[in-house]
Protein backbone atom coordinates (compact mmCIF):
# COMPACT_ATOMS: atom_id res chain seq x y z
CA UNK A 1 0.00 0.00 0.00
CA UNK A 2 1.37 3.45 -0.89
CA UNK A 3 1.89 6.13 1.70
CA UNK A 4 -1.02 8.20 2.90
CA UNK A 5 0.60 11.40 1.62
CA UNK A 6 0.89 9.99 -1.90
CA UNK A 7 -2.78 9.09 -1.83
CA UNK A 8 -3.91 12.50 -0.61
CA UNK A 9 -7.05 13.64 -2.39
CA UNK A 10 -7.20 16.91 -4.29
CA UNK A 11 -8.40 19.88 -2.28
CA UNK A 12 -12.17 20.31 -2.44
CA UNK A 13 -11.81 24.01 -3.27
CA UNK A 14 -9.21 26.67 -3.96
CA UNK A 15 -9.82 28.08 -0.46
CA UNK A 16 -9.08 24.69 1.14
CA UNK A 17 -5.97 24.34 -1.00
CA UNK A 18 -4.78 27.82 0.06
CA UNK A 19 -5.28 27.07 3.77
CA UNK A 20 -3.57 23.66 3.59
CA UNK A 21 -0.53 25.05 1.75
CA UNK A 22 0.02 27.55 4.54
CA UNK A 23 -0.17 25.01 7.34
CA UNK A 24 3.46 24.79 8.45
CA UNK A 25 3.04 22.90 11.74
CA UNK A 26 5.38 25.01 13.85
CA UNK A 27 5.51 28.48 15.35
CA UNK A 28 1.89 28.13 16.36
CA UNK A 29 0.36 30.54 18.85
CA UNK A 30 0.18 27.94 21.66
CA UNK A 31 3.86 27.04 21.12
CA UNK A 32 4.92 30.69 21.24
CA UNK A 33 2.87 31.34 24.39
CA UNK A 34 4.43 28.34 26.11
CA UNK A 35 7.97 29.27 25.07
CA UNK A 36 7.44 32.80 26.35
CA UNK A 37 6.22 31.51 29.72
CA UNK A 38 9.22 29.16 29.96
CA UNK A 39 11.59 32.02 29.15
CA UNK A 40 10.04 34.09 31.94
CA UNK A 41 10.93 31.26 34.33
CA UNK A 42 14.54 31.56 33.17
CA UNK A 43 14.48 28.31 31.21
CA UNK A 44 16.48 28.05 28.00
CA UNK A 45 15.75 25.46 25.36
CA UNK A 46 15.92 24.61 21.70
CA UNK A 47 12.90 24.75 19.48
CA UNK A 48 11.80 22.59 16.55
CA UNK A 49 14.91 20.46 16.58
CA UNK A 50 15.75 16.80 16.08
CA UNK A 51 16.23 14.98 19.34
CA UNK A 52 18.65 12.32 18.17
CA UNK A 53 20.19 11.88 14.75
CA UNK A 54 19.17 8.23 14.47
CA UNK A 55 15.57 9.07 15.29
CA UNK A 56 13.86 11.37 12.86
CA UNK A 57 11.78 12.99 15.58
CA UNK A 58 11.43 16.74 16.02
CA UNK A 59 10.02 18.17 19.21
CA UNK A 60 8.57 21.64 19.62
CA UNK A 61 10.60 22.43 22.76
CA UNK A 62 13.76 20.55 23.74
CA UNK A 63 15.96 20.63 26.83
CA UNK A 64 18.90 18.48 25.61
CA UNK A 65 20.93 17.87 28.78
CA UNK A 66 18.10 16.79 31.09
CA UNK A 67 16.57 15.00 28.07
CA UNK A 68 13.15 16.61 28.32
CA UNK A 69 11.04 17.29 25.25
CA UNK A 70 7.65 18.89 24.82
CA UNK A 71 5.24 18.42 21.95
CA UNK A 72 2.35 20.84 21.46
CA UNK A 73 -0.10 18.74 19.49
CA UNK A 74 -2.67 20.48 17.34
CA UNK A 75 -6.22 19.29 17.99
CA UNK A 76 -6.93 18.65 14.31
CA UNK A 77 -3.70 17.03 13.13
CA UNK A 78 -3.24 14.82 16.18
CA UNK A 79 -6.88 13.79 16.63
CA UNK A 80 -7.82 15.45 19.93
CA UNK A 81 -10.64 13.43 21.52
CA UNK A 82 -12.40 16.66 22.54
CA UNK A 83 -12.11 18.72 19.37
CA UNK A 84 -11.27 16.61 16.34
CA UNK A 85 -14.07 16.01 13.86
CA UNK A 86 -13.48 14.07 10.67
CA UNK A 87 -14.01 16.44 7.72
CA UNK A 88 -17.10 15.73 5.62
CA UNK A 89 -15.13 15.79 2.37
CA UNK A 90 -12.78 12.81 1.83
CA UNK A 91 -13.75 11.44 5.27
CA UNK A 92 -12.19 8.00 4.87
CA UNK A 93 -8.84 9.45 3.85
CA UNK A 94 -8.83 11.98 6.71
CA UNK A 95 -9.71 9.33 9.28
CA UNK A 96 -6.86 7.14 8.02
CA UNK A 97 -4.48 10.13 8.01
CA UNK A 98 -5.26 11.23 11.57
CA UNK A 99 -5.20 7.64 12.88
CA UNK A 100 -1.76 7.26 11.28
CA UNK A 101 -0.59 10.48 12.95
CA UNK A 102 -1.79 9.18 16.33
CA UNK A 103 0.06 5.88 15.84
CA UNK A 104 3.22 7.79 14.84
CA UNK A 105 2.96 9.98 17.96
CA UNK A 106 2.68 6.90 20.15
CA UNK A 107 5.62 5.17 18.41
CA UNK A 108 7.76 8.29 18.78
CA UNK A 109 6.87 8.76 22.45
CA UNK A 110 7.72 5.13 23.22
CA UNK A 111 11.02 5.29 21.31
CA UNK A 112 12.06 8.44 23.16
CA UNK A 113 11.14 7.06 26.57
CA UNK A 114 13.16 3.89 25.83
CA UNK A 115 16.16 6.16 25.22
CA UNK A 116 15.71 7.95 28.53
CA UNK A 117 13.80 11.04 27.38
CA UNK A 118 11.05 12.56 29.49
CA UNK A 119 8.26 13.31 27.05
CA UNK A 120 5.42 15.72 27.64
CA UNK A 121 2.62 15.96 25.11
CA UNK A 122 0.18 18.83 25.41
CA UNK A 123 -2.92 19.58 23.39
CA UNK A 124 -3.00 23.06 21.90
CA UNK A 125 -6.27 23.74 23.74
CA UNK A 126 -4.55 23.12 27.10
CA UNK A 127 -2.25 26.10 26.65
CA UNK A 128 -4.41 28.91 27.94
CA UNK A 129 -3.48 32.00 29.94
CA UNK A 130 -5.16 30.37 32.93
CA UNK A 131 -3.10 27.16 32.76
CA UNK A 132 0.19 28.50 31.38
CA UNK A 133 2.00 28.98 34.69
CA UNK A 134 0.95 25.53 35.95
CA UNK A 135 2.20 23.90 32.73
CA UNK A 136 5.47 25.87 32.87
CA UNK A 137 6.12 24.80 36.46
CA UNK A 138 5.37 21.18 35.50
CA UNK A 139 8.01 21.42 32.75
CA UNK A 140 10.50 23.04 35.15
CA UNK A 141 9.92 20.20 37.62
CA UNK A 142 10.48 17.62 34.86
CA UNK A 143 13.81 19.27 34.05
CA UNK A 144 14.90 19.28 37.67
CA UNK A 145 13.71 15.73 38.43
- Domains of the chain in sequence order: 24-50+62-144 (3.40.960.10)
Q: What does the pLDDT look like over 80-115, one tens digit per residue?
A: 999 999 999 889 999 999 999 999 999 999 999 999
Do residues 64 and 44 lie in contact, with contact meaning Cβ atoms separated by under 8 Å?
A: no
Taking only the tens place, the pLDDT of each residue in 1-16 is 567 766 766 666 677 5
The residues, ordered by sequence, that sit 6+ positions from 121 with a Cβ below 8 Å of its Cβ are: 70, 71, 73, 105, 109
- pLDDT tens for each residue of 49-63: 888 888 889 999 999
Amino acid sequence: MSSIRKRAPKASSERVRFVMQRNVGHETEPEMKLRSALHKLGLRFRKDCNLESKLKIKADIVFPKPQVCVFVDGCFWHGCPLHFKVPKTHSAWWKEKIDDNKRRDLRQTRALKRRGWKVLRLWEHEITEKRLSKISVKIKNLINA
